[in-house]
């Protein structure tokens, strides 16, 4: 399954980059600096989406006591943290030419930074506990409590008077941007989505191999016969 | 098409540092993550192979 998602990620990514960098017109106000949108919006969406999925798997593991669900949550965390970091990084590179500052303690930016810390906290907490099952449970509680931050990030631009602009894309309104820009963004988001699935499944396989190394079926794997 | 020459494309209307800084950091992060995962898998499989052969030797 992993090669399929990897191929989808590469194909959609190539199409998104082509639309975003070559086809989409230059913005009237921001000129070519706006092209950061094609990575920034996609990684920001993914940073929030991956967190919700991670908390969902962690919660499932906590309620049903299923080891695989908890491992899935653990597998998603580093990829989500990477997206949160990229969201802040690209946002900062976008803020400098358009707002005149790399960073400001704006509600949107601050809550996204908290999201990054939640991911890092989840990873650190699980790494600090030796017993994997206890680590799963402690991490799950942290992940579930942290979920409240996701709607805060999403609605921060409405609830507070932020420097960050409002949502670029809405389900209820007709898009206010050129259609090629919109498609470029959506394709990039889909590409990162497929990438996240591939990366998380790859990490999940590593976690399973490491944790279940004393199980008989692991010893029977054909990868182990040189 | 918006660009008349490759130079114009790479200059990004004067915003090259910001635009390419974003795209390249993203590409680098994805590459690093995948490379680290491949290494991790490789190490896990090597460790399992060692354990397996150790068990086989103990059995004989």
The series of mean pLDDT values per 10 residues for chain A, 226 residues long, is 87 85 76 86 94 96 93 96 95 88 88 95 95 93 94 87 76 68 90 95 93 80 72
Chains A, B: CB contacts under 8 A, how many?
Answer: 93
Closest CB to A93: pick one of B3, B18, B41: B18
> Would you call B12 and A218 a contact, using CB atoms and an 8 Å cutoff?
no
Q: For residue B20, which residues of chain A lie inside 8 Å, CB to CB?
A: none
B18 contacts A94? CB cut-off 8 A: yes
Q: What one-character DSSP code corresponds to residue A173? A: S
Q: Are B15 and A32 in contact (CB under 8 A)?
A: yes
Provide CB contacts within 8 A for B16, sequence distance 6+.
B10
The residue of A93, A97, A119, A210 whose CB has the most chain B CBs within 10 angstroms, and thus the best one to mutate to test that interface, is: A93
The number of helix segments (H) and strand segments (E) in chain B equals: 2, 0
Closest chain B C-alpha to A9 CA, distance in angstroms: 11
CB A133 within 8 Å of CB A73 = no
pTM to 2 decimal places: 0.89
**How far does A34 lie from chain B, in Å, by closest CA?**
8
What is the secondary structure of B15-36 as a DSSP string? Answer: THHHHHHHHHHHHHHHHHHHHH
Q: Read off the pLDDT band of B37 (50, 70, 90).
A: very high
What was the pLDDT predicted at A172? 62
- Taking alpha carbons only, the member of A136, A143, A165, A142 closest to residue A64 is A136
Looking at residue B58, its pLDDT comes to 84
Spell out the residues 6+ positions from residue A211 whose beta carbon is closer than 8 angstroms to its own.
A67, A71, A132
DSSP B12: G
Please state, in angstroms and rounded to a whole number, the distance separating the CA atoms of residues B7 and A15.
Answer: 22
The span from the CA of A45 to the CA of B10, in Å, is 27
H or E element, residue A1: none
Residue A84: exposed, middle, or buried by beta-carbon count in 10 A (0-12, 13-18, 19+)? buried
The residues of A whose Cβ lies within 8 A of any Cβ of B are: 21-26, 31-33, 35-36, 39-40, 43, 78-79, 82, 85-86, 89-90, 93-94, 96-97, 195, 199, 202-203, 205-206, 209-210, 213, 218-219, 221, 223-224, 226
Q: Which of A226, A172, A218, A202 is nearest to A2 (CA)?
A: A202
Domains located in chain A, CATH noted: 2-224 (1.20.120)
DSSP 3-state percent helix, strand, coil across chain A (nearest 5): 80, 0, 20
**CA–CA distances in Å: residue B36 to residues A79, A104, A115, A137, A196:** 12, 33, 23, 26, 15
A219 contact residues in B (CB cutoff 8 A): 48, 52, 55
User: HSE (CB half, 13 Å, CA atoms) of A64?
Assistant: 11
> In angstroms, what CA-CA distances link A15 with A21, A86, A175, A178?
10, 21, 20, 17
pLDDT at position A173 is 62
The predicted pLDDT at position A88 comes to 94
Q: What angle do CA A49, A179, B7 make, to 5 degrees?
A: 95
What residues in B contact A221, CB-CB < 8 Å?
48
Asked if A162 and A7 touch (Cβ cutoff 8 Å), the reply is no
Determine the residue among B35, B38, B44 to mutate to test chain A binding: the one whose Cβ has the most chain A Cβ atoms within 10 Å: B44
Q: Which of A140-154, A167-181, B4-18, B39-53 has the lowest mean pLDDT?
A: A167-181
pLDDT for position A141? 95
């Amino acid at each position: 399954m992993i090669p399929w998602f990897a191929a989808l990620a590469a194909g959609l990514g190539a199409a998104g980059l082509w639309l975003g960098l070559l086809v989409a017109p230059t913005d009237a106000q921001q000129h070519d600096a706006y092209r950061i949108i094609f990575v920034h919006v996609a990684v920001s969406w993914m940073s929030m989406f991956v967190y919700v999925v991670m908390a969902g798997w962690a919660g499932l593991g906590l309620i049903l006591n299923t080891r695989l669900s908890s491992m899935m949550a653990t597998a998603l965390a580093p990829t989500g943290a990477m997206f949160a970091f990229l969201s802040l990084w690209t946002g900062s590179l976008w803020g400098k030419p358009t707002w005149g500052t790399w960073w400001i303690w704006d509600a949107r930016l601050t809550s996204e930074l908290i999201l990054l810390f939640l991911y890092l906290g989840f990873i650190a907490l699980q790494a600090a506990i030796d017993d994997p099952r206890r680590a799963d449970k402690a991490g799950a509680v942290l992940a579930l409590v942290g979920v409240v931050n996701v709607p805060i990030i999403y609605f921060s631009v409405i609830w507070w008077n932020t420097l960050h602009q409002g949502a670029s894309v809405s389900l209820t309104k007709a898009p206010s941007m050129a259609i090629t820009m919109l498609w470029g963004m959506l394709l990039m988001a889909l590409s990162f989505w497929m990438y996240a699935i591939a990366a998380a499944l790859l990490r999940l396989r590593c976690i399973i191999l490491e944790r279940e190394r004393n199980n008989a079926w692991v010893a029977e794997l054909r990868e182990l016969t040189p | 098409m918006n660009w008349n020459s490759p130079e114009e494309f790479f200059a990004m209307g004067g915003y090259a540092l910001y635009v390419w800084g974003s795209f390249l950091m993203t590409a680098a992060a994805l590459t690093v993550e995948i490379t680290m995962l491949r290494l991790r898998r490789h190490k896990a499989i090597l460790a399992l192979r060692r354990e397996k052969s150790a068990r086989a030797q103990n059995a004989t």
